[in-house]
Amino acid sequence: MSNLPEAREASLPRRLLAADPDRLPAVEVGVLVVGSGVAGLSTALALPRGTSVLLATKGRLGEGATRYAQGGIAAVTPAGLAGPTRRAGAGKQDDSAGRHLDDTLAAGAGLCDPVAVRVLVEEADAAVADLRARGVRFDQAGEGLLARTLEGGHSRPRILHAGGDATGAEIERALVAAVGDAGVPVAEHAFLVDLVTGTDGAVVGAVLADEAGGRSLVRAGAVVLASGGAGQLWTDTTNPALSTGDGMAAALRAGADLADLEFVQFHPTALHVPVDPRPLISEAMRGEGAVLRDLDGELVMAGRHPRGDLAPRDVVTRAMAARMAASGAAHLWLDATDVPAERLERRFPTILARCRAAGIEPTSAPIPVSPAAHYLMGGIRTDLHGRTSLPGLYAVGEAACTGVHGANRLASNSLLEGVVFAARIGRAIATAGATAGAAPPERPAGPAAPDGAPAGDPAATRAALRRLMTSSAGVLRSARGLGAAAEALAGLPTAFPARPDGWETANLVQLATALVELATRREESRGAHWREDFPDPSEAWRVRQMVALAPDGALVTGLLPLPSLAEAAR
């Protein structure tokens, strides 16, 4: 392996629009925030008072992935330390940010940035306090105490939750209300088409499109991408239809570095029903005592890991995939029938309602489950303040790659990451200032997709892409499968009709191409990246990978050495 970047033979568009953005109708703001999940909403609220802000979302407020987060938010807080431990043997009642750090590093399989993780866990209490101040109503375990539960990979029950299993929905409700109270302007149904860069490469705005196809240029002193993940790359996903990686792909086209794209977390327990997205069965249900069984009733995780059903997600998912492949089963069972029905009703009302709508009664019968794409650990590479490799561009939430997740995200760290790093972006922008002015001419950006109606069929291409990624770049990977995927991707169109479904498909094709490249190069198994031809981790690969686009549209890859925790402490 070399530390020098390596150009690959690929030709991806650097822009989706051929038109000159300076000829579009324009507005000016201090900060443009793209995305309205926990990360985007928190960022809008964290910006300095007096900053002119526009919060743009391609759907409606409340339609993103945040509302699907069931389990909760992982945080060590004084208000939660005295809460009860519900699961026998779940661990001691004491906890600390240090233990949370250790658990996160262990789940990340040696690829977490320990400095970023330290920031995450040490600022967790302040993040929870901020959410409570914004009106989030966490479940209580008694007067003045926050209820908490256990999830896979955690050594202590530190997961705070709301509405039993409706934590994301409650956080989203409160933050949407807070944004409204603060008078933050919101543009719904505003699709991010391209970022606009100046002659020095700095991001100076973005092109947005509305439902009617009208396009406008938003000039901004800073752009924050909080646009979520790309779960729609796979046929089975817990992500909503909006999760097409638009912010990540736009950043890639603009010249920003992306990192860790090969690490994709497949949640082990999605409800096995033919709908898109697949309903999530929270890991917290296993924290309360549910167990995984095969179709013969045998325990799936027995002897597979010291923590059994509460092993890290990558371990559980691979064990399930192996059991299903060996037996030919399309699903396994999550058995919660030994958990008292009253507890299930109190803790998981949303899950029970979804199961019952599908004709399943979890209090008396096992739940059919199978793995589904859930979370992308990689994204736009940022520093500890959300700054990307391009001046003027920030990223936060699933669209960003802070390094806290490493090769495998620890359960319930994602909501926390969105709040913690949104606050840091707010402070960074306060220091740097973000006053919009006239944007300089756009930097020559290489090839652009034709601004018309090319031959690429968005629906057919997306369906083929999702099947390809599921079969060749899913839970189990190999050189043969990844090579076939790369060849097939090279044959897919990269330009589509200039409308949202076409732009989404172009974004997915670009991200898939970069992801498959990094997965092919990583010749080891680590965390959520499992290679059948390289089944063991390699110390030589204890590095992170990055990818960017050269001006001619070629992929460029490179390595990011990782400090140890001891080195980070110095």
What three-state secondary structure class fits 234? coil
Domain-embedded: residue 278: yes
The Cβ of residue 115 has, within 10 Å, a number of other Cβ atoms equal to 18
| Number of domains forming the structure of the chain | 2
Ramachandran region, residue 39 (left: φ > 0; alpha: ψ -120 to 50; beta: rest):
alpha
pLDDT band, residue 443 (cuts 50/70/90):
low
Domain-embedded: residue 504: yes
Mean pLDDT of 437-454: 56
The answer to whether residue 3 scores a pLDDT higher than 50 is no
The Cβ of residue 297 has, within 10 Å, a number of other Cβ atoms equal to 9
Domain-embedded: residue 472: yes
Determine the Cα–Cα distance for residues 439 and 103; give it in Å rounded to an integer: 45
Instruction: Tell me: do 453 and 552 sit in the same domain.
Output: yes
Instruction: Tell me: do 365 and 462 sit in the same domain.
Output: no
pLDDT in tens, 343-393: 999 999 999 999 999 999 999 999 999 999 999 999 999 999 999 999 999
The answer to whether residue 185 scores a pLDDT higher than 90 is yes
- Domain final residue pick, 313, 343, 371: 371
Determine the Cα–Cα distance for residues 150 and 90; give it in Å rounded to an integer: 7
- Tokens linked to 490: 């090279």
Determine the Cα–Cα distance for residues 124 and 421; give it in Å rounded to an integer: 10
Give the residue among 254, 227, 190, 188 at the shortest CA–CA distance from 395: 227
Domain-embedded: residue 351: yes
Residue 149 near residue 141, CB atoms below 8 Å:
no
Instruction: Tell me: do 465 and 367 sit in the same domain.
Output: no
Give the residue among 61, 54, 58, 64 at the shortest CA–CA distance from 189: 58
The pTM of the full predicted model, rounded to 2 decimals, is: 0.92
Helix 413-432 vs helix 124-133: crossing angle, to nearest 10: 90
The answer to whether residue 268 scores a pLDDT higher than 80 is yes
Domain-embedded: residue 335: yes
pLDDT in tens, 42-75: 999 999 999 999 999 999 887 777 877 777 999 9
Domain-embedded: residue 421: no
Residue 219 near residue 27, CB atoms below 8 Å:
yes
- Domain final residue pick, 345, 371, 397: 371
Supply the pLDDT for residue 359. 95
- Domain final residue pick, 318, 336, 371: 371
Give the residue among 469, 399, 57, 447 at the shortest CA–CA distance from 237: 469
Instruction: Output the domain CATH number for residue 317.
Output: 3.90.700.10
pLDDT band, residue 81 (cuts 50/70/90):
low
pLDDT band, residue 35 (cuts 50/70/90):
very high
pLDDT in tens, 472-494: 999 999 999 999 999 999 999 98
- Looking at per-residue pLDDT, the higher value among 139 and 452 belongs to 139
Task: Name the DSSP class of 20.
Answer: -
Determine the Cα–Cα distance for residues 240 and 279; give it in Å rounded to an integer: 10
pLDDT band, residue 231 (cuts 50/70/90):
very high
Instruction: Tell me: do 367 and 462 sit in the same domain.
Output: no
Strands 543-549 and 258-259: antiparallel
Residue from 286, 313, 354, 381 carrying the catalytic annotation: 313
Mean pLDDT of 496-509: 95
Q: How far is CA 337 from CA 71, 285, 287, in A?
A: 19, 11, 14
pLDDT band, residue 496 (cuts 50/70/90):
very high
Domain-embedded: residue 306: yes
Instruction: Output the domain CATH number for residue 480.
Output: 1.20.58.100
Q: Any catalytic annotation for residue 313?
A: yes
Domain-embedded: residue 316: yes
- Where in the sequence is the domain holding 284, given as residue range(s)? 266-371
